[in-house]
Structure 1
Amino acid sequence: METDATQAQRHSLLEDGLALIVATPLVALGITFYSQAELLTGSTAGLAFLIKYMTEWGFGPVFFVLNLPFYALAFLRMGWKFTLKTFAAVGLVSLFAELTPFWISLEQIQPAYAALLGGMCMGLGMLMLFRHRASLGGVNILALYLQDRYNIRAGKFQMGVDLCIVLGALFVLPVDKVLLSITGAATLNLILTLNHKPGRYQGVS
């Protein structure tokens, strides 16, 4: 019989709410670094960056709209609690991504530093969201749905989408910025890989 120490501790509604409030500004700060240095990342955020750089539309509204079609899949795949928290997370990141540049002024930032620190901020924010059963939606949800419904490997699909984003970025950004973006994405994924493992964190929502 499991002891209390080994049983998963369920997050309260307050804890989930605080996690959203802490994690989303952290992600938005990483997005601000990337915007200032003209970098991008993968998944739906990468698509939002591409559209931002091509049209000069704000990242926040574009990111929010891009995620709208995926909530139905989130509901089918993960349930209504996950969907509501993901909707809230995407909405808050979109809001904070627009407000952060008004709260801090970055006259200059080295692109390499922006790539690494921005990747760390986004990775830590996403890690916190994952541990509270939320996400930043979009391509990740679609990848899981396609894996369940059509047996298309989620990792391969995600890799294909990110490859398309990188190829598209070559037509919008200088090659050195694309390479730094890949470095930042690797930093983000390293944080998730090292810290988001089954059984390592016992809290559930």
Structure 2
Amino acid sequence: MAQSEQVQKRSIGFYSADPSKHTPLEDTQGIFISAMTVALGLYFLNQVGLLTSGTAGVAFLLHYAFDLPFGLLFFLVNLPFYYLSFKRLGLGFSLKTFVAILVVSVITELERRFLVIEYLDPFWAALLGGILIGYGLLGMYRHRASLGGIGILAIYLQDRFKIPAGLVQLGFDLCVMVAAFFVVSPVTVLWSLVSAVVLNLLLTINHRSDRYIVVR
């Protein structure tokens, strides 16, 4: 492509020539597609009654315990973390995270109208759910967004009290899984752990600060 054409496209906001930055159009499509991917992973888990890690796991627990809409619960559970996000990670990151959570919450409620699954093995749901949520999160990180939640609190506690963020996340997830024993069966907790391990391994292997720069 000629340099003049590149300049023209750049001038009307199609893409950014700087690989570490994105135009509003790039951010919009990237966050939307990532939210669709996460929502599909959550839908698979929900179809067989599984949980996952983080605030989504808390939303699943409340959903199974009180039969309330998961999308609404997921949105509400994340509300307390927006202030921390704004203080620690800035307005741009917080706004995109808010939009990402809102889109995921809405799509998870609409999913059942467009997709009906007659049979889904729990192991396959755990595997696919973890992979899809992981890839969706990677996409959000690429566009400097997230699904909020405990990750923001973990970063804050690490900076303020020198508690490793990984330990905070692990401790929170263990609490979610222990609480799950009071709501779902032990087998369901086991498959949920499989999904959480797949998700966290995918992020650990693929998330690198030189590839996915969440904060600048």
Q: What whole-Å deviation, never above 9, does each CA across 1:110-145 have from its counterpart, x for those lacking one?
A: 111000001111011011001111000011111111
Structure 2 CA distance for partners of 1:130 and 1:34, relative to 1, 3 Å: same
8 Å CA contact 2:89–2:215 kept in 1: the answer is no
Q: Which of 57, 61, 80 is the aligned partner of 2:68?
A: 57
Q: 1:108 to 1:74 in 2, by over 3 A?
A: same
CA distance in 2, matches of 1:8, 1:108: 42
- Structure 1 letter corresponding to 2:176: I
Assess if the C-alpha contact under 8 Å between 2:144 and 2:213 holds in 1: no
Unaligned runs of 5+ in 1: 1-6
Which whole-Å CA distance do the structure 2 matches of 1:123 and 1:155 have between them?
Answer: 16
Q: Which amino acid aligns with 1:101?
A: R
- Identity %, equivalent residues: 48
User: How far apart are the structure 2 equivalents of 1:58 and 1:12?
Assistant: 34
Q: CA–CA distance in 1 between the matches of 2:209 and 2:190?
A: 31
Q: Show CA shifts across 1:84-132 (max 9, x none).
A: 0000000000000100111100122111100000111101101100111
Alignment of 1:11-160 (within 5 A): 11-160=22-171
Give the 3-state SS of the residue equivalent to 1:10 in structure 2: coil
Alpha-carbon contact 2:144-2:214 (below 8 Å) kept: no
CA distance in 2, matches of 1:202, 1:71: 19
What is the CA–CA distance in structure 2 between the aligned matches of 1:61 and 1:199, rounded to whole Å?
Answer: 34
TM-score normalised by the chain length of structure 1: 0.92
SS in 2 for 1:11: coil
Query: Contact 1:24 / 1:92 at 8 angstroms: preserved in 2?
Result: yes
Distance in structure 2 (CA, Å) of the matches to 1:10 and 1:184: 32
Distance 1:43 1:8, change over 3 A: same
Are the aligned partners of 1:10 and 1:203 in contact in 2 as well (CA < 8 Å)? no
Structure 2: give runs of 5+ residues left out of the alignment.
Answer: 1-17
Secondary structure in 2 aligned to 1:105?
coil
Find the aligned partners of 1:49 and 1:196 in 2 and give their Cα distance.
25
CA RMSD of aligned residues (A): 1.6
Cα pair 1:9 1:204 within 8 Å, conserved? no
Partner residue, 2:13:
none
Q: For 1:72 and 1:174, how far apart are their aligned partners in 2?
A: 35
Q: Give 1:188's aligned residue.
A: 199
Cα deviation, residue 170, structure 1: 1.1
Distance 1:183 1:141 in 2: 24
The Cα of 1:8 is off from its aligned counterpart by 4.5
Query: Are 1:169 and 2:175 matched, yes or no?
Result: no
Which residue, out of 171, 184, 198, partners 2:209? 198
Answer whether contact 2:100 2:146 (CA < 8 A) is retained: yes
Bigger relative CO (Cα 8 Å, ≥ 6 apart): 1
